[in-house]
Amino acid sequence: MLSYTLRRLVAMLPVLLGIAFITFALVSFAPGDAIRLMLGSESANVANVERLRHELGLDLPWYEQFWRYLGGLVKGDLGTSITSRQPVSHLIFQRFPNTLVLTTASLLVAILIALPLGVLAAAQHNRPGDYLGMGFAMLGVAMPNFWLGLILLIVFGLELRWLPIRGIGSLDKGVLDYASHLVLPAVTLGTSLAAILTRLTRNTMLDVLGEDYVRTARAKGAKPNRVLFRHALRNALLPVVTAAGMQFGGLLGGAVVIETVFSWPGLGLLSINAIRQRDLPMMQGSVLVFATCFMLVTLLTDLLYTAINPRIRYG
Amino acid sequence: MAEAGANNRRGRRVLRAFLRNRLAVVGTLLLIVVIGSAALAPTVAPYDPLKMDLVNAYSPPGSEGHLLGTDNFGRDILSRLIHGSRISLLIGFVVVSIAATVGTVLGLLAGYLGGWFDELVMRAVEIFYAFPFLVLAIAVIAVFGPSIFNVMWVLGLVSWPLYARLVRAQVLALHDLEYVEAARASGMSKWRVMFKHVLPNVLTPVIVTATFGIPEAILASAALGFLGLGVQPPTPEWGAMISEGKDFIRRAPNLITWPGVAIMVVVLGFNFVGDGLRDALDPKGKKG
Amino acid sequence: MTNASRLLVGGIVLALTLTATATAQQRGGTLRIAYTSITQLDPYKTAANDEINAASLVFDPLFIIGKDDFQPIPHLAESWEAVDATTWEFHLRQGVMFQDGNEVFPEGQAREVTADDVVYSVNRFLEVSTAFTLGNVTNVEAVDRYTVRISTADPDPFLVTDVNRLARVVIVPHEAVELYGEEGFARNPIGSGPFQLTSFVPDQSLAFERNEDYWLDTNLDAVEFVFIPDPTVQTIAVEAGEVDVVPYLFNIDSVAQLEDAPGIVLHPRGGSYRGLGINVTTPPFDELAVRDALSKAMDIDAAVAAVVEPFGHRAYGQVPPWVDFEQDPSLADLWEYDPEEALQILAEAGFNPGPDGMLQRNGQPLRVAIKTVAGSQVRVLTILVTQLRELGIDASLQQQDTAVWAEDLQTGNDTGVFFDYSFAGTTGLYSLFHSSNAGMTNTHFYANEQVDELLDAASRTVDFEERNRLWLEAQRLIMQDRAAIPLYFEFGYSVVSDRVHDWVAPWGGLHLVSLENNVWVE
Dump the DSSP string for A26-46.
HHHTSSS-HHHHHHTSTT--H
B136 in any annotated domain: yes
Q: Is the pLDDT of residue C273 over 70?
A: yes
pLDDT of residue C154: 82
User: Does the residue B4 lie in any domain?
Assistant: no
Is A313 a domain residue?
no
Strand, coil or helix: C218: coil
Nearest chain B alpha carbon to C396: B234
CA distance B243 to B236: 11
**How many angstroms separate the Cα of C316 from the Cα of each of C275, C311, C331, C376, C377?**
10, 16, 6, 19, 16
Residues A160, A283: one domain? yes
Q: pLDDT confidence of B1, banded at 50, 70, 90? A: very low
- Residue type at position A209: L
Inspect the interface and report whether the beta carbons of B139 and A256 lie closer than 8 Å. Answer: no
**B39 falls within a domain:** no
Percentage above 70 pLDDT, chain B = 86
Interface of A with C in 18-77 (CB under 8 A): 30-33, 36-46, 48-49, 52
Instruction: Let me know whether A171 and A295 are in one domain.
Output: yes
Tally the residues of chain C. 522
Identify the H or E element spanning A101: helix A88-123
Q: Which residue positions in chain A have pLDDT lower than 50?
A: 314-315
Question: Do A116 and A173 belong together in one domain?
Answer: yes
What is the rounded average pLDDT for all residues in chain C?
Answer: 85
Taking the Cβ of residue A201 and every Cβ of chain B, the question of whether any pair is shorter than 8 Å is answered with no
Our CA angle for C393, C398, C399, nearest 5°, is 150
CATH number at residue B179: 1.10.3720.10
For the ranges B159-163, C66-70, C285-289, the lowest mean pLDDT is seen at C66-70
Length of chain B: 288
Range of the domain at B232: 44-285
- Note whether A147 contacts B129, CB cutoff 8 Å: no
Mean pLDDT of C472-480: 87
* A179, A291: one domain: yes
Mean pLDDT, chain B, as a whole number?
82
Q: Is residue A86 part of a domain?
A: no
SS3 state at C172 = coil
Do B253 and A154 make contact, defined as CB atoms within 8 angstroms? yes
Distance from CA of C399 to the nearest CA of B (A): 7
ipTM of the complex: 0.84
d(CA B121, CA B101): 15
Give the count of beta carbons closer than 10 Å to the beta carbon of residue C4: 8
By the CB < 8 Å criterion, does C213 face chain B? Answer: no
* Cross-chain Cβ contact A81/C37 below 8 Å: no
Question: Which residue in A16, A17, A147 has the most chain B C-beta atoms within 10 A of its own C-beta, making it the best mutation to test that interface?
Answer: A147
Query: CB–CB of B267/B215 below 8 Å?
Result: yes
Strands C520-521 and C137-144: unpaired
Q: Which residue has the higher pLDDT, B81 or A160?
A: B81
Helix, strand, or coil (residue A170): coil
Q: Are residues A109 and A215 in the same domain?
A: yes
Q: Which of B232, B247, B248, B255 should be substituted to probe chain C, the one whose Cβ sees the most C Cβ atoms within 10 Å?
A: B247
- Region of poorest pLDDT, from C374-383, C425-434, C464-473: C425-434
Using pLDDT thresholds of 50, 70 and 90, give the confidence band for residue C431: confident
Whether the CB-CB separation of C278 and C417 falls below 8 Å is answered with yes
A225 in reach of chain B (CB within 8 A): no
Q: Cβ contacts of residue C337 below 8 Å, gap of 6+?
A: C296, C298, C299, C300, C301
Show the 3-state SS of chain B: CHHHHHHHHHHHHHHHHHHHCHHHHHHHHHHHHHHHHHHCHHHHCCCCCCCCCHHHCCCCCCECCECCCECCCCCEHHHHHHHHHHHHHHHHHHHHHHHHHHHHHHHHHHHHHCHHHHHHHHHHHHHHHHCCHHHHHHHHHHHHCCCHHHHHHHHHHHHHHHHHHHHHHHHHHHHCCHHHHHHHHCCCCHHHHHHHHHHHHHHHHHHHHHHHHHHHHHHHHHHHHHCCCCCCCCCCCHHHHHHHHHHHCCCCCHHHHHHHHHHHHHHHHHHHHHHHHHHHHCCCCCCC
- Across the interface, whether the CB atoms of C239 and B234 are under 8 A apart is answered no
Looking at the domain assignment, is residue B15 inside a domain? Answer: no
Examine the pLDDT at B175 and tell me if it is beyond 80: no
Report the amino acid identity of residue B203: L
Min Cα separation B136/chain C (Å): 17
pLDDT at B286 over 60: no
- The mean pLDDT of B71-99, rounded to a whole number, is 90
A155 three-state secondary structure: helix
Q: Is C147 on the interface with B (CB under 8 A)?
A: no
Residue-level pLDDT at C42: 93
Nearest CA in chain B to A250: B132
Residue B74 in this model has a pLDDT that exceeds 50: yes
| Interchain proximity B251–C401, CB inside 8 Å | no
* pLDDT at B259 (0 to 100): 92
Which range of A289-293, C190-194, C467-471 scores highest in mean pLDDT? It is C190-194
What is the Cα–Cα distance from A231 to A228, expressed in whole angstroms? Answer: 6
Domain that holds residue A33: 20-74
The beta-carbon neighbor of A85 closest among C40, C240, C407 is: C40
Decide if C218 contacts C196 (C-beta within 8 A).
no
Nearest CA in chain A to B254: A151
Residues 277-296 of A with CB under 8 A from C: 277-278
Task: Determine whether the interchain pair C423/A42 forms a contact, defined as Cβ–Cβ distance below 8 Å.
Answer: yes
Nearest one of A78, A82, A64 to A284, comparing CA atoms: A78
CB of B248 less than 8 A from some CB of C? yes
Q: How many Å apart are CA C4 and CA A261, to the nearest integer?
A: 61
Cβ atoms within 10 Å, residue C451: 23
Do β-strands C264-278 and C484-497 pair in parallel, antiparallel, or remain unpaired?
A: antiparallel
The pair phi, psi for residue A56, each rounded to 5°, is -85, 0
Residue C164 has pLDDT above 60, yes or no: yes
Question: Residue A60 to residues A258, A274, B173: CA-CA distances in angstroms?
Answer: 37, 21, 50
Query: Same structural domain for residues A60 and A170?
Result: no
User: What angle, rounded to 10 degrees, do the helices at B238-245 and B254-281 form?
Assistant: 150
A276 vs B19: CA distance, rounded Å: 49
Contacting residues of C for B247, CB less than 8 Å apart = 232, 251, 253-254
Contact A36, C407 (CB under 8 A): yes
Interatomic CA distance for residues B277 and B19, integer angstroms: 10
Residues of A (14-53) whose Cβ lies below 8 Å from B: 14-16, 18-19, 22-23, 26-27, 29-31
Residues facing C226 on adjacent strands: C34, C205
Q: How far apart are CA C429 and CA B10, in angstroms?
A: 77
pLDDT of residue C461: 78
Q: Looking at the structure, tell me whether residues A259 and A200 fall in a common domain.
A: yes
CA distance C83 to C80: 9
Tell me how many residue pairs between chain A and chain B have CB atoms under 8 A apart.
129
| CATH code: domain of residue A168 | 1.10.3720.10
Q: How far apart are CA B25 and CA C88, in angstroms?
A: 84
Instruction: Examine residue B29 and state whether it is found in any structural domain, yes or no.
Output: no
pLDDT band at residue C312, thresholds of 50, 70 and 90? confident
Q: Is residue B22 part of a domain?
A: no
Q: Using alpha carbons, select from C397, C380, C396, C210 the residue that is nearest to residue C311.
A: C380
Burial class of C294 by CB neighbour count within 10 A (0 to 12, 13 to 18, 19+): buried
The total number of residues shown for chain A amounts to 315
The contacts of residue C203 (CB under 8 Å, 6+ apart) are A95, A265, A269, A270, C37, C38, C39, C227
B260 touches chain C (CB under 8 A): no
Chain C interface includes A160 (CB < 8 A): no
Which has more pLDDT, B194 or C264? C264
Contacts 24+ apart (CB under 8 A), C295-298: C295/C335, C295/C482, C295/C485, C296/C336, C296/C337, C296/C338, C296/C339, C296/C341, C296/C342, C296/C345, C297/C339, C297/C342, C297/C343, C297/C387, C297/C388, C297/C391, C297/C393, C298/C337, C298/C384, C298/C387, C298/C388, C298/C485
pLDDT at B285: 44
Give me the residues paired with residue C268 across strands: C493
Q: Does B253 touch chain C (CB under 8 A)?
A: no
In this structure, are A29 and A108 located in the same domain?
no
Between residues 187 and 206 of chain B, which touch chain A (CB distance below 8 Å)? none
- Stretch B60-66: mean pLDDT: 81
Chains A, C: CB contacts within 8 A come to 142
In a domain, B26, yes or no: no
For residue C410, the one-letter residue type is: Q
Q: Is residue B14 part of a domain?
A: no
Kindly state whether residues A51 and A121 are assigned to the same domain.
Answer: no
d(CA C511, CA C515): 10
**Position A212: which residue type?**
D
Residue A284 in domain = yes
Is A239 in CB contact (< 8 Å) with chain C? no
Interface of C with B in 356-395 (CB under 8 A): 374, 378-379, 382-383, 386
pLDDT higher than threshold 50 for residue B287: no
Determine the distance in angstroms separating the CA of C253 from the nearest CA of chain B, rounded to an integer: 8
**Cis check: omega of the bond before B234, within 30 degrees of 0:** yes
pLDDT of amino acid C355: 81
Q: How far apart are CA A150 and CA B242, in angstroms?
A: 9
What is the total count of domains within chain B?
A: 1
Q: Answer for the pair C226, C205: CB distance below 8 angstroms, yes or no.
A: no
Query: Which chains lie within 8 Å of chain C at 3 or more CB pairs, if any?
Result: A, B
CB atoms within 10 A of CB A203: 20
When divided into structural domains, chain A yields a total of 2
How wide is the angle at C-alpha B109 spanned by C-alphas B105 and B112, nearest 5°? Answer: 135
Asked whether residue A58 falls in the same domain as residue A96, the answer is: no
Phi and psi, residue C201, nearest 5°: -120, 115
Distance in angstroms (rounded) separating the CA atoms of residues C41 and C206: 10
Do A62 and A120 lie in one domain? The reply is no
Residues of C in contact with A87 (CB under 8 A): 183
Measured between beta carbons, which residues in chain C are less than 8 angstroms from residue B246? 232
Q: Could you read off the pLDDT of C391-409 as tens digits, one per residue?
A: 888 888 887 777 778 778 8
Which among B72, B233, B247 has CB closest to C399?
A: B233
Within C51-146, strands assigned E span: 63-65, 72-74, 77-84, 87-92, 137-144
Q: How many CB atoms lie within 10 A of CB C7?
A: 11
Burial track B37-52 (b if 16+ CB lie within 10 A, e otherwise): bbeebeeebebebbeb
Per-residue pLDDT reduced to its tens digit, C22-41: 557 888 889 999 998 898 99
- Residues A37 and A156 occupy one common structural domain: no
Segment C169-189 shows an average pLDDT of 92
Indicate the residue type of C139: N
Q: Supply the pLDDT for residue A282.
A: 86
